Amino acid sequence: MIEQKAKTILVTGGAGFLGSHLAERLASVGHDVYCLDNLHTGSRENLFGFTGTGKIHLVEHDIVKPLPELPKFDEIYNLACPASPVHYQEDPVATLRVCSEGVWNVLARAAHDRADVFHTSTSEVYGDPLVHPQREGYHGNVNTVGPRSCYDEGKRFAETMLTDFCRMHDLRLRMVRIFNTYGPRMHPQDGRVVSNFIMQALRNEPITINGDGSQTRSFCYVDDMIEGFQMLMAGGDDARGPMNIGNPAEITVGELAELVVKMTGSRSPIVYLPLPKDDPLRRRPDITRAQKVLGWKPRTHLEQGLKATIAYFEGIIERDSWRVALDA
């Protein structure tokens, strides 16, 4: 790590999957980290057991409301947003409000504190892409009124709002476009493909492939992603503008199902469900920019990352049965 001076840092969405890993990484080098989260999909448990030198504080709050009084921040990382299709489609208007009013509230605090801003955007800004792999200059193929639009268009709006606001207020901004990321602390019921397949496999329940399984994704392990966040935040002027961070190793959803079944030794059958509307058929990041500007590239192979993720979900299932046993 390059950091020298302890900073006061806000991580919105800090009790979630990526947010809790980021908060730990920042606190482990001595920073004072405030995780502001409404616990919609995040949990206190994600922040238990931290033993580093810095401090992690959890503040329960919804970013759609003006932020509460807190210490002056040096840096603000904005991760708060429902992230899985199941969660962001539950209440699409709420998702749009998080991406607009929520981002506005975060920016207002950043301007007040003169804090550096880091925002988590997404590969979903490319929609169902007509260009493959996706580079930052591609402007996407997004339906404005489909079931995924609340998230895709919300995140697109947020990128514009952040860019214009930070330019007008002379704030330092870094924005990452995250491609499918997985690892320990994913919500076991958020419906994302890695968590779904692993939970189904460990319980010997049917593995649910949407469509014929030929659609592709490129999966990045959480540790690589968080390292990318830190390198991007530390990056110079050439790191301005949205940057893809993800693992370019592309795999079909069908191949992922087979791999998870093999690695868990599961007896799960595979079942095929209809492909949801507007589900992107191909997705792979072009990470040329991250490699050139930051010197970043992913280091974790899919099997290695899945091994750690499977172990995490085994722990969750064990703890649940332990609770059930106690209740009985």
Catalog residues that contact ligand UDP under the rule CB under 6 A.
84-85, 180, 191-193, 196, 208-210, 215, 217, 253, 276, 279
Radius of gyration of the chain from its Cα atoms, rounded to whole angstroms: 19
CB of 41 to ligand NAD, least distance (A): 4
State the CB neighbour count (10 A cutoff) for residue 264: 20
How far is residue 46's CA from residue 240's CA, in Å, rounded to a whole number?
31
Q: Shortest gap between Cβ of 291 and ligand UDP (angstroms)? A: 23
d(CA 152, CA 148): 6
Pairwise CA distance, residues 292 & 144, whole Å: 33
Closer to ligand NAD at the Cβ: 157 or 272? 157
Q: Which does 67 bind (CB under 5 to 8 A by kind): ligand UDP, ligand NAD, none?
A: none
Q: Are 268 and 258 in contact (CB under 8 A)?
A: no
Residue 82 binding target from ligand UDP, ligand NAD, none, CB below 5 to 8 Å by type: ligand NAD
Count CA within 13 A, CB hemisphere, residue 5: 4
**Annotated catalytic sites, by residue?**
151
> Which two structure tokens, joined as six digits, stand for 195?
């968590």
User: Considering only residues 76-115, where is the footprint of ligand NAD by CB under 6 A?
Assistant: 79-83, 98, 102
- Give yes or no for a contact between 79 and 57, defined as CB atoms under 8 angstroms apart: no
With b for 16 or more beta-carbon neighbours within 10 A and e for fewer, the 39-72 pattern comes to ebbbeeebbeeeebebebbbbebbbbeebeeeee
Least distance between ligand NAD and beta carbon 327 (Å): 26
Q: Which does 193 bind (CB under 5 to 8 A by kind): ligand UDP, ligand NAD, none?
A: ligand UDP
Please, which residue, 191 or 269, has the CB nearer to ligand UDP? 191
Angle at 41 between CA 103 and CA 327, to 5 degrees: 160
Beta bridge partners of residue 271, listed in sequence order: 208
β-strands 55-60, 32-37 pairing: parallel
Residues 120-159 vs ligand NAD: string with x where CB under 6 A?
x-x-------------------------------------
In terms of CB distance, is 215 or 244 closer to ligand UDP? 215
- Give the nearest distance from C-beta 209 to ligand UDP in angstroms: 5
Residue 85 site contact among ligand UDP, ligand NAD, none (CB < 5 to 8 Å, cut-off depends on kind): ligand UDP
Place of tokens 């974790």: 300
The residues pairing with 119 across neighbouring beta strands, listed in sequence order, are: 78, 175
Q: For ligand UDP, which is the closer residue by CB, 56 or 194?
A: 194
Among residues 83 and 166, whose Cβ is nearest to ligand NAD? 83
Provide, rounded to whole angstroms, the least separation between the CB of residue 192 and ligand UDP. Answer: 4
Within 26-65, the residues that bind ligand NAD by CB under 6 A are 37-42, 62-64
Residue placing its CB nearer to ligand UDP in the complex, 234 or 273: 273
Position 46, amino acid:
N
Q: Which of 106, 139, 99 is nearest to 11 (CA)?
A: 106
Question: 159 to 188, contacts with ligand NAD by CB under 6 A?
Answer: 178, 180-181, 187
For binding to ligand NAD (CB under 6 A), which residues are involved?
12-13, 15-19, 37-42, 62-64, 79-83, 98, 102, 120, 122, 178, 180-181, 187
